[in-house]
Amino acid sequence: MLVSIYRYNSEKDNVPYMEDVNVDIPEGKDLMVLDVLHLLKAEDSSVTYRRSCREGVCGSDGLNMNGKNGLACITPLSEVVKKDKLVLRPLPGLPVIRDLVVDMSMFYKQYEKIKPFLVNDTPPPAIERLQSPEEREKLDGLYECILCACCSTACPSFWWNPDKFIGPSGLLQAYRFLADSRDTSTAERLADLDDPFSVFRCRGIMNCVSVCPKGLNPTKAIGHIRGMLMQRST
């Protein structure tokens, strides 16, 4: 199989380039893309990428594989390879540090901006704060986000305004706290999101939904936030 991989090392290369490597794939096994990266690195130790859990829960190895963002460790070759060729690029829209490693600070900054932590003004009880199963169910499809950035880096609105638009991942988390019955800062949270950029740059393109490796739906969460803003202001 031909693997075309994005290479850039600021100490050696003036500009990034695509390197074509032929990789022997063992017969009868449906490898994951991450396994292919391991094979590449065993041959050329300078090939650089992030990885940790190798089972799709840590969110380290978000990549652009044959044009689509996803996690290398849970993307089988059978699903992504076309015409015996695999093109591997870093997540689009973020500065590249080296090869497939991008600088995620802008992404994390947007996450921090939504105050992704529970705020509750009342003194905590001696036990847990009670929450009914129905209230808890509202957090399903939200708390599972692994911060892999596949969604935000697939979003044209985030490409154009990564400093102002929170992006799908951050907004999913914003709604996770808006929806939590234990959180008391709903009004402040909404006030922080009311400007023309933070939420409203979402144009419903839904790239986020189509790439999310955890099957989450940021567009739906953004719709809920808009609904809450509307309810608050009309």
Instruction: Name which of residues 179 to 198 contact other proteins (CB under 8 A).
Output: 180, 182-183, 191-198
Binding segment for other proteins among 19-27, 53-61, 62-70, 80-88 (CB under 8 A)?
A: 53-61
Cα–Cα distance for residue pair 138/115, rounded to 1 Å: 19
Measured in degrees and rounded to the nearest 5, phi and psi for residue 114 equal -85, 10
Please select the residue that binds other proteins; options are 4, 21, 54, 209, rule is CB under 8 A.
54
- Which range in 84-92, 97-105, 204-212, 216-224 contacts other proteins by CB under 8 A? 97-105
Q: Does 98 contact other proteins by CB under 8 A? A: yes
Residue of 17, 20, 53, 67 that binds other proteins (CB under 8 A): 53
Q: By C-alpha distance, which of 218, 195, 197 is closest to 206?
A: 218
Whether the Cβ atoms of residue 232 and residue 190 lie closer than 8 Å to each other: yes
- Cα 161 from Cα 75, distance rounded (Å): 29
Alpha-carbon span 66 to 8, nearest angstrom? 18
Task: Name the amino acid, one letter, at 132.
Answer: S
Q: Does 164 bind other proteins (CB under 8 A)?
A: yes
Which of 19, 23, 144, 224 is the binder for other proteins (CB under 8 A)?
A: 144
Q: Within 13 Å of residue 71, how many CA atoms lie on the same side as its CB?
A: 21
Instruction: Count interface residues toward other proteins (CB under 8 A).
Output: 76
User: Whole-number minimum distance, CB 86 to other proteins, in Å?
Assistant: 18
63 within 8 A of 69, measured Cβ to Cβ: yes
Choosing from 36, 147, 155, 212, the residue that interacts with other proteins (CB under 8 A) is: 147
Collapsing DSSP states into helix, strand and coil, what is residue 218?
A: helix
Contact present, 64 and 91 (Cβ < 8 Å)? yes
Please, which residue, 83 or 117, has the CB nearer to other proteins?
Answer: 117
Closest listed residue to residue 222, CA positions, set 234, 195, 196, 204: 204
CB of 99 to other proteins, least distance (A): 8
Residue 92 binds to other proteins (criterion: CB under 8 A): no
For the segment 213-232, give every residue that binds other proteins (CB under 8 A). 226, 229-230
Check residue 104 for interaction with other proteins (CB under 8 A).
yes
Q: Which two tokens stand for residue 230?
A: 């509307």
From 17-25, 87-95, 141-149, 204-212, give the range in contact with other proteins by CB under 8 A.
Answer: 141-149
